[in-house]
Amino acid sequence: MSTAIISLNLNDFKHGSVEQKQKFVQDLGEAYEKIGFVAVYNHELSDDVSENLYRYTKEFYALPMEVKMKYRIEGIAGQRGFTSWGTEHSKDSKVGDLKEFFHFGQDIPEALKSEYDYHENVVVNEVPLFNDYGLKAYAALQETGKYMLRAIALYLNLDEFYFDDYIKYGNSILRPIHYGPIKDAPKNAVRAGQHEDINLITLLMGASAEGLEVLDKQNNWIAITALPNQLVVNVGDMLQRLTNDKLRSTTHRVVNPPKEQWGTTRFSIPFFLHPVSEMRLDCLPNCVNETHPRKYDDISAGDFLTERLIEIGLLEKK
């Protein structure tokens, strides 16, 4: 079963009339409450950056495994650089996903590096333009995410700029993923097991092949496709927790292709928008009432992230 999700024009929010802006906010919020995904166009990511990032992503993954493994950094839970096949799994499964991936993080100004203490980005010497276009895409998706969160803030009756300072130098991640050819009949593994994203929102560039499915409110798996030049943007667990389930993180997965397409590869590049670790995810007071009592304990974004990295196998429990 396939469906086209609602498409919204980001310019209606950024440059539209008061009425257009209000309609964008309402349509966005209602779509998130009903399914958790929307598509947006007139975003900040140019076709040139998107196309080149995919080009150089494919060049990176074509490198021999021993070369890619040079960019695997021990002891940082995969937060930067390369992560090999089967390392990550969904939090409710112990079977590793059929994917390998690379992480770009914040490019923090030199004067602020000691304040945020993030790991340095890993530079791939063999494909230098992979780094260049990775950071360009990161900046464009960060800017797009800022406007999406401003619209979400208004929908939640918060100040429009509620999230701005939390995400400016947040712990966001750009993840170019390679789902490789399937050589043997998988016993349990899929390209990505069903899961919810950890972060506030995820912005997904169009993938190189089909496979993304979301679970609707009637427990049906729906194949999701975005039109060209659009980003698919979904709610993550941090936003679900903050809003006391008013905006719910949507369960999704990447399924294996039909057997006749097992020899094909799939590339996908999501941007996981995280706040700074100090942001509180305590349920917003205006999302708690007698009908919707508080569902979650108080926690910081950093502590919540650590919990989830342990659950998905990227970080060992101390």
What residues does 215 pair with on adjacent strands? 221
Whose CA is closest to 273, among 198, 213, 190? Answer: 198
Instruction: Indicate the burial class of 297 (C-beta count within 10 angstroms; 0-12, 13-18, 19 or more).
Output: exposed
Tokens for 294, please give them: 């508080």
Q: Look at residue 317 and tell me if it is in a domain.
A: no
pTM of the model: 0.89
Instruction: Report the CATH number at residue 282.
Output: 2.60.120.330
Task: Flag whether 130 is in a domain.
Answer: yes
Residue 60: which H helix or E strand, with range? helix 47-61
Nearest to 62 by CA among 18, 134, 124: 124
Q: Which domain holds residue 239?
A: 2-311
pLDDT single digits (tens) 220-242: 888 876 667 899 899 999 999 99
Residue 318 lies in a domain: no
Burial of 25 (0-12, 13-18, 19+ CB in 10 A): buried
**Alpha-helical regions (H) of 72-121:** 113-116
Which residue in 119, 133, 49, 127 sits closest to 79, CA to CA?
A: 119
How many other β-carbons are positioned within 10 Å of the β-carbon of residue 49? Answer: 21
Question: What band does 317 get if pLDDT is binned at 50, 70 and 90?
Answer: low
Say what percent of the chain tops pLDDT 70: 84
- Among 110-119, 178-187, 219-228, 273-282, top mean pLDDT goes to 273-282
The answer to whether residue 164 is domain-embedded is yes
- Residue 204 inside a domain? The answer is yes
Where is average pLDDT lowest: 48-57, 95-104, 185-194?
185-194
Q: Is 316 a member of any domain?
A: no
Asked if residue 230 belongs to a domain, the reply is: yes
Domain count, the chain: 1
| Alpha-carbon separation of residue 37 from 173, 215, 226, 263 (angstroms) | 19, 11, 11, 29
Confidence of residue 86 (pLDDT cuts 50, 70, 90): low
Amino acid at position 8, single letter: L
171 within a domain of the structure (yes/no): yes
Q: Are 181 and 265 in contact (CB under 8 A)?
A: yes
Q: What is the mean pLDDT of residues 10-39?
A: 93
